[in-house]
Structure 1
């Protein structure tokens, strides 16, 4: 039995689908277990991973756990202790590439603390360290594209390698279900298959929508303010923009392809954009 926290999130829902499709029993943990399970063969379990005592039923008889900070928050050490007590042997943690690239960054410090908690738990572990998620473009650019057809951001020439959330989930599912120990103790850097400037990403979204979009360069200070308006704390915004500034001089390194782990070809950003057309169109926000 495999337990997935953050099971309705961008990555978690695809982890549930991948694990179930591989024929493994999976419990999808959500705070509000309503509606149909996210995949045939999966079971919805209502619990709050940030309150570990609510997770006893979900972890009963489980052998592996997918751990997502957005669901667990500061209760990670307590949840890991409970998981070990309940018989879980393996944990796959969704971490961040910032741990390696920018250890002083607040994002890196948060995820490194999570990794240390997992390392100290006594469980077998695998760390997934994705870099930029393609889905982040919906958060930062979606409203601008829907309303104006223009993306206003800093460092348009920053070359990033956005990864499709489905590819992160495929690596997670492989590490969770592989009966061998080949993924134990691995720290997997994960990116998309190619580095693209932010300007080029906007062009590819426009191609998927069937209409031209425009990129407008703005100052760093304005970009921080724009990100704050989307709920991004200023230190996090500054850290992200510092990384982007660096990628104007040298592109984000492309990690070894995910197919070496999963056996499945990675998705390009163009493919991702075509799948998410509705997220960039006006009626995607309709009630």
Structure 2
């Protein structure tokens, strides 16, 4: 039976990848730091280890036919050794911005240099990142964001996982790059109001200045360079919203999930 290694298995996308692979009837092996806290069904093999440890990745990859790779750092330091230990067949969770460089582009280059039979799944913004507003929803009636009119085509984490799973199960996808988005552009203000409707609570939106937004990210431990680029990026989306691709429906044969559907599913997180 086919065995597929899933890194980042306990994360927001990884759990759906595990579920999709189990539903397809393959053996799933999850690389996890704390197996007793993973919370997976008994038929999921648990490989204890850290993605940053090449020896742990080597052990987890032993006998695996393919791997789902999520590199969780904003630096590619140490990634070359890890990539070398993965199975030949890899589906990499990259980013829509990978062609512009950065860590995601660097990991893609490492996979190519290592001769991996790779598929590059490049999602745009994750809908699930809207959970960063959850405290404001729960404790008040206003959400403060930078560039409220920034237009984003956020993608449901289940759609990312669906494309990753079908890519892992069919070698037809080797060498392909898939750019994924949600089916529509919504401003950040519209996203907030969509969540408000899902939980039945009126909410107001207030704009954070660029300086306030940057400081808020720094207070949460963000790298200063990342904070600067994020604030600049959000501002750029006011006049130049993110694109919408049709990759999800083309590959899965069903419509991409909307942000409203995501909000309904995650409504308890905001109450």
Q: TM-score per shorter chain, which class?
A: over 0.9
In structure 2, the gaps of 5 or more residues are: none
Q: Does 1:212 align with 2:211?
A: no
Whether 2:157 is the aligned partner of 1:157: answer: no
Residue 131, structure 1, aligned to residue 124, structure 2? yes
The answer to whether the 8 A contact 2:10-2:38 is kept is no
The corresponding residue for 2:102 is: 109
The 2-side partners of 1:262 and 1:228 are apart by 39
Partner of 2:55: 53
Q: How far apart, in 2, do the equivalents of 1:227 and 1:58 lie?
A: 35
- Given that 2:32 and 2:38 are in contact with CA atoms closer than 8 Å, whether structure 1 keeps it comes out as no
Cα displacement (A) at 1:35:
4.7
Are the counterparts in 1 of residues 76 and 106 from structure 2 also a CA contact under 8 Å?
no
Mapped to 2, the partners of 1:20 and 1:66 lie a distance apart of 14
| Structure 1 match to 2:243 | 253
Q: CA RMSD in A?
A: 1.8
Q: Which runs of 5+ in 1 are unaligned?
A: 282-287
1:144 matched residue in structure 2:
136
TM-superposed CA distance for 1:160, in Å, is 0.3
Query: Which residue, out of 218, 230, 233, partners 1:228?
Result: 218
Contact 2:125–2:154 (8 Å) recurs in 1 = yes
* Cα distance in 2 for residues equivalent to 1:149 and 1:155: 19
TM-score, normalised by the number of residues in structure 2:
0.93
Aligned positions of 1:236-247 closer than 5 A? 236-247=226-237
Residue equivalent to 2:187: 197
Normalised TM-score (structure 1): 0.88
Equivalent residues of 2:51, 2:71 under 8 A apart: no
Confirm whether residue 184 of structure 1 aligns to residue 183 of structure 2: no
Once the two structures are superposed, residues 106-148 of structure 1 have per-residue CA deviations (whole angstroms, 9 ceiling, x without a partner) of xx41111111111111110111111110111112x12222222
Determine if the alignment matches structure 1 residue 277 to structure 2 residue 267. yes
3-state DSSP class of the match of 2:58? helix
The secondary structure found in structure 2 opposite 1:7 is: coil
C-alpha displacement of 1:73: 6.0
Instruction: Give aligned pairs, total.
Output: 268
Structure 2: how far apart are the matches of 1:47 and 1:63? 19
Structure 1 residue aligned with 2:29? 27
Give the 3 Å change call, closer, same or farther, for CA 127–39 of structure 1 in structure 2: farther
